[in-house]
Structure 1
Amino acid sequence: MIVVMKSGATEAQVQSTVARVEKMGLKANVIVGTERTVVAVVGDERVLDAPSLEAGDGVAEVMPVVAKYKLASREVRPESSVITVGGFQAGGGHLGVAAGPCSVENEEQIVEVAKAVKAAGATGLRGGAFKPRTSPYSFQGLKEDGLKMLATARDETGLAVFTEVMSPEEVDLVAKYADVLQIGARNMQNYRLLEAVGRCDKAVLLKRGPSATMDEFLLAAEYILDGGNERVMLCERGIRTFEAHTRFTLPLASVPYLHSKSHLPVIIDPSHGTGHTYMVHDMAVAAVAAGADGLIIEVHPDPPNAASDGYQCQDYAQFENTMRRIQKVQKALTD
């Protein structure tokens, strides 16, 4: 359920409504919109006394929410959320681009990449310090040393740092250095991790699991939102299908679908979504044309010799070309 406050309702009236919801044993989440303030009620709604709430000062009406995911739903927040992290913005007409290598390899490399992608127009720097790999013999990342290198690159460029956190125990450590905590596809349904980043004050990029339905994806986001962290971005990075011509199948229909169901920004990962460098450019452009709020793209100075995923990384020239094209498409859409 949501409690819709009247236009001009005071803060005291909002807090009075929150107190009444909590007295019923339910959780109240206040969402301030451009046109209205609503109190989202979470919990066993069988104990909710809707007529009593509706009679409260400053309350316009009490309405049911059909979606399973309450806080992520447009029923609760009709206007699109805008996530701002330093110079990176996504949502509400803003297009954010984060770029960088799959793995941080050394300080010289990550600083060089950061300067190159910023010059091309990126506002975020992606780079893996903790790397979940299918094989235990693959490069696992530089861990805290890698985080320190990412922080150095941010200090030199001002780019917002995106990096993956893999366990609840590592959230505080990664948050010490990163600006955006990435939940990888393998961890989309790691509920203890989702709860941990929900208690954190850092923005979150939540990647869709390769076999997850849209409802499962949005319910994973709900865990984070329910923890109190409203700065969540949804990342479509491709799903498993019977096709073998790409690493995953990148369904760009996710963009309009998620926009219709949720107020959260939608980010597309054309690198993992295709697994082939030659496809990244076209899928990035198509994602922007479909209305994506952002992109996360793998860029490496020497892809053939990258420590991981070089086969899907763009080099600097390719990334610059992609940025030029998506800027043209974005301009055409807004003119």
Structure 2
Amino acid sequence: MDTEVSRDKLKMYTPSIIAPEPRSKRMGLAEMLGLKSNVIPIIAGPCGIESKEQLKSVGNYLKSKSMKLMRGGAYKPRTSPYSFQGLGEEGLEILREVGEMYDLITVTEVLDVRDVDIVAKYADVLQIGARNMFNYQLLKEVGRQNKPVLLKRGVCATVMEFLYAAEYIAAEGNKKIILCERGIRTYETSTRYTLDISSIPIIKKEIDLPIIADISHSLGRKDIISPVAKAVFAAGADGIMVEVHPNPKEALSDGFQQLDFMEFTSLLEGISSYLKAY
């Protein structure tokens, strides 16, 4: 009975912009960002930009692994007001400089309507974090930008609410939207959040947008990141987001879930082998 109710609720979602009828050819992540089809779609980088030296180290490493997408937080939404909040515009300047230096597409979060223009000035992709998925004014504002928007699912959001949030962006004219499953809050405590892998095929049946999974923030641990990454791709995800840091033990935020270079290399090799065989 509960399953039927859930299905009925999903049917209430009547897409008008991001899922046209008849359905158009699905635009994948590589096509949306102008990547070559042989590039493994992984958005990697530190949780927070801490210094130019730190991000240059990450950028150089990602370049050596033929990666094309780099994330890095300049404005950090932290649970505690006393935690590292990011470098702000200085961090954005570093992000752009390192991105240009190593020919990397940059992704960073915008927290406030007042910061949209300045973040868009420096970053290639604007990220809306889980905490702001319901911030409709912010969604509208990034919808007016001519840059791809990476929209993360809120921790308490249903699939239907997630899709409507994407509609807010598209309704303003910006259809370059990348959805990101980031995990939802449940009773389970073995991971930071519960990664709702089932949302990936469900969403791909409903709309014509690429969807990735943030396997770092959803798990909050790195010992199971490789099998989960493979499961995400098996479910049909267009890519993943993972945090990488030169020295996670010294990271100013979320060091426990960030991979060092050796760990990321191992993850990349495992994913590459899996995708070739899949």
TM-score (norm 1): 0.76
Q: Percent identity?
A: 46
Pick aligned residue for 1:82 from 28, 41, 47? 28
Which residue identity does 1:81 align to in structure 2?
Answer: M
Q: Which residue of 2 aligns with 1:32?
A: none
Q: What does residue 195 of structure 1 align with?
A: 140
Name the structure 2 match of 1:211: 156
1:18-37 residue pairs with structure 2 within 5 A? none
Q: What RMSD over aligned residues (CA atoms) do the two structures have, in Å?
A: 1.9
What is the deviation of 1:89? 6.6
- Mapped pair 1:255 → 2:255: no
Bigger RCO (CA 8 Å, 6+ sep): 2
Aligned in 2, Cα 1:187/1:102: closer, same or farther, shift over 3 Å?
same
Which of 167, 172, 189 is the equivalent residue of 1:244?
Answer: 189
CA distance in 2, matches of 1:69, 1:186: 23
Question: Matches of 1:288 and 1:325 in 2, distance apart?
Answer: 12
- Residue type matched to 1:82 in 2? G
TM superposition score normalised by structure 2: 0.91
Residue 228 (str. 1) matches residue 168 (str. 2): no
Q: Give the drift of 1:77.
A: 3.0
Is 2:271 the partner of 1:323?
no
Task: Report the structure number with the largest CA radius of gyration.
Answer: 1
Structure 1 contact 252–290 (Cα < 8 Å) conserved: yes
Identify if the C-alpha distance between structure 1 residues 103 and 85 changes in structure 2 by more than 3 Å, giving closer, same or farther: farther
How has the CA–CA distance of structure 1 residues 207 and 226 changed in structure 2, closer, same or farther, with 3 Å as cutoff? Answer: same
C-alpha distance 141-224 of structure 1, shift in aligned 2 (>3 A): same
How far did residue 120 of structure 1 move?
2.3
Q: 1:68 aligns with which of 6, 14, 19?
A: 14
Which ranges in structure 1 are unaligned for 5 or more consecutive residues?
1-64
Q: Distance in 2 between matches of 1:77 and 1:153?
A: 38
Q: Which runs of 5+ in 2 are unaligned?
A: 1-10
Equivalent of residue 135 in structure 1, options 68, 77, 80: 80
In 2, Cα distance between equivalents of 1:87 and 1:160: 10
**Match status 1:120 vs 2:62:** no
- Residues 74 and 87 of structure 2 are in contact (CA less than 8 Å); yes or no, is this contact kept in structure 1? yes
Deviations 1:185-229 (A, max 9, x none): 000010000000000011000000000000100000001111100
SS, match of residue 162 in structure 1:
strand
1:179 aligns with 2:124: yes
Q: Counterparts of 1:262-281 in structure 2 under 5 Å?
A: 262-281=207-226
